[in-house]
A and B are shown apart, each in its own frame.
Chain A
Amino acid sequence: MHDMSKIIGIDLGTTNSEAAYIEAGKPVVIKSVEGQPYFPSVVAFTKTGEMLVGEAAKRQAVTNTEGTVQRIKRKMGTSEKVTLRGKTYTPQQISAFILQKIKKDAEDFLGEKITDAVITVPAYFNDDQRQATKDAGAIAGFNVKRIINEPTAAALAYGLDKEGDQKIAVYDFGGGTLDVTIMEVGGGVFEVLSTSGDTQLGGSDMDKALVDYIAEEFKKQHGVDLRKEPKTLQRVLEAAETAKIELSSTLQTDINLPYIYVVTGEPKHLEIKLTRAKLEEIISPIVQRSEKPCRQALQDAKLKPEDIDHVVLVGGVTRMQMVAKKVEEIFKQKPKREVDPMECVAIGAAIQAGVLSGAIDKDIVLLDVTPLTLSIETLGGVATPLIDRNTTVPTRKSKVFSTAADNQTSVEINVLQGERPMAADNKSLGRFHLDGILPAPRGLPQIEVSFDIDVNGIMNVSAKDLGTGKEQSIHITGSTKLSDSEIERMQKEAKEHEEEDKKRKEKIEIRNVADALVHTTEKTLVELKDKFTSDDKEALEKALKELREALTGDDTDKIKEKTDALTQAFQKASTAIYQQAAQQHQQQQGAGAAQGDAWQGHPSDDDSTINADYKVKGEKKKKKDHEEE
């Protein structure tokens, strides 16, 4: 089944719905036209008969209670109907309105027509409820390819179907309900062993408890109940939500609501310190209530906590540390929470959809990546990267390098693997020479080094003298095949030595810059000996001598200081020459313009040129090169 049209995955939720699809093997969450990664599961008809779905319907809900319907999911599969503004609708029809909105927004988002979908339902949904969901999809214009269980989708989002026979617990704590499911997976097939939950328990209970606490504290101080007025209640509610999120990462937060209330002409401010411990105390009764359904699910599945291989967290509430801790305590293991718990189910549905549409084809899409950075050794033993770590192969990268000494006729290409900035600390995969470079001043020859890794991880490294066309190359096998322990060790080493490596590299770079400057100065002194004033020339020679002396030693600060001194002397001297030239230029126009053109063609103008063998060309030197000409 390799139908190339896209199939989207939809988590049709009680309060919010989400949708996702697979792009180049990766799940992407679809945003609503309003710009949010979810769709409120709310449908409304206004007085004028206009239908609203999603965010707009939610905004007007309190003003239009008789024309708005929420939480229709709870009525799916029943014969109950809802009447809105005199017209009667089945739960399937209402759900279809939500799915239609998702379909339309997804088409906007993707820029193409969407007809196929995978929709999720709770594991405890019976046949009638599943059929009703499927019907809702059909009414909305979807070709429903499959109905899958929400916990199954969550497990798919974590790729748990690929790990052999497993027992999985999914703890789904949303805004309004708690669902606990225990499943067994084997050979890619999921079987639900038990389900349990609490339909009257959710994140909104926590918000209410927190608002109550804040309002009571304020009442104690000022004698006013902030919950009585919608205006103040709204601000407290928002502050409570913010505090809850902040306390997921910090231990204490301040809730400050200035000018919250005016008592007999005097403005009152709400100032409460809330610690994580206090928050946990407030929500603890709610979190405790989630334990019973977990135990029940285990008992029904006839399993002990130790029998469970993986626990997956779903739903916004599970972002709270305390909830995750509680789950860990019940199941005696760290639960999985790397995938966004709000998007987890939609992502899993999208993965299922991707498998059905062929968007996920294990044989082709799973391309290898380079586990470590691939570089070549350049001047001073520095490792200059060509292909970064984690690049998908097959790939080809090239860079132009140059020589480090005058009349250098051969360069050595040392191919390295690893994250350390210095060549010696990385693993050498192979080395070869490129000979026959025509004698030329350093920095002039252009040698293009290319790394080409094919799909099997075989790397071809070639070096080509762009001047003569001469080329040399080697094959290196297994550049992407390293054992996990080897990769881990090399990455760990890189981390450990980060600071020290950085210093060493800096030191070499300073030396390289100084070295290049000495070279340029020497050359310039010879070439332009008649143009410098005798004072400038003397100053240059003195500074040059001092820098040379500094380079014989190992004092980096001193090298840097002398480099700066020589640079200044150089600038002063060249400014004088330029002024002289400008005067001449005014007298005989044209010559100066030709000078300007000449730089453009100079190969060292190419920023990608790095001296192999090996020099990172200093910016300063480049400038000087121009100035000389």
Chain B
Amino acid sequence: MSTKKISDPKKQTHETSQNKIKKLEDDIRQLKVELNEKNDKYLRTLADFQNYQKRIEKELIAQKEDIKKKYLLELLDQIELLKKAYDDPDPKPGLKLLLENMDKFLKKEGITYIECKGKPFDYQLHNAVSTVEQSECVDGTVIDEIKKGYFMGEKLLRPSHVIVAKKKP
């Protein structure tokens, strides 16, 4: 390299820079092409994602409706039977079967009742509506159930609404 420079340094430098410029221009051109491709790909992926979001939204609504349908149909059956029981002069035997059916349905769906009366208050399972002061009691014991609580499988469906005892000081 150094010997060539000596022979015609100016021309050599000129040629080298020309080559460099040409190479850089080629690089830029290629990078531009690549950038355009990448940008297009990026925008398409983003658009695909937005369209996916829209589709999922629609599907979620449809799914909600399907779930609603399933439980409404079950409810309708029970209501129709209840109406028959209402017109029945001796409704008890019919109602008994009806309740058994409903219990069976709840069991199938994994619904279990949460025991609470007489147990210590547990914020994970119970919702305290009020407290009652008593002299003879264990502080913090559930003394009454206002609304039953249930599990849905392992998850809490609804906490028991309870009244909790408070020991009189």
- Write the residues of chain A forming the contact surface with B, with a CB cutoff of 8 angstroms: 24-26, 46-47, 52, 56-57, 59-63, 230-231, 234-235, 364-365, 367, 390-396, 454-455
Contacts and interface: CB of A to CB of B under 8 A. Distances in A.
Contacts of B127: 59
Nearest to B147: A234
Given A231-B144, A234-B147, A60 B128 contact: yes
B53 A61 contact: no
A278 B123 CA distance: 38
30 contacts: A24-B46, A24-B49, A57-B123, A59-B123, A59-B127, A59-B128, A59-B159, A60-B128, A62-B128, A62-B129, A62-B131, A63-B140, A230-B163, A234-B129, A234-B146, A234-B161, A235-B147, A367-B46, A367-B50, A390-B54, A391-B54, A392-B46, A392-B47, A392-B50, A394-B40, A394-B43, A394-B44, A395-B48, A396-B44, A454-B40
A24 B130 CA distance: 45
A365 B49 CA distance: 11
Contacts of A25: 50
A372 to B, nearest CB: 16
B121 A60 contact: yes
B116 interface: no
B2 interface: no
Interface of B: 40, 43-44, 46-51, 53-54, 121, 123-124, 126-131, 140, 144, 146-147, 159, 161, 163-164, 166
A365 B46 contact: yes
Contact of B146 (A26, A52, A231): A231
Contacts of A234: 129, 146-147, 161
Contact of A26 (B40, B53, B164): B53
B46 A395 contact: no
A394 B127 CA distance: 52
Contacts of B140: 47, 63
A61 B47 contact: no
A455 B128 contact: no
Q: Is the interface of A mostly helix, strand, loop or mixed?
A: mixed
A395 B166 contact: no
A395 B44 contact: yes
Given A24-B53, A393-B47, A394-B47, 14 more contacts: A46-B123, A59-B126, A59-B128, A60-B128, A62-B128, A63-B121, A63-B128, A63-B164, A63-B166, A235-B147, A367-B47, A390-B54, A391-B51, A395-B44
Contacts of B161: 234
Given A24-B49, A24-B50, A231 B163 contact: yes
B103 to A, nearest CB: 19
Nearest to B53: A24
B129 to A, nearest CB: 5
A391 B47 CA distance: 8
A326 B168 CA distance: 48
B134 to A, nearest CB: 13
Contacts of B50: 24-25, 367, 392
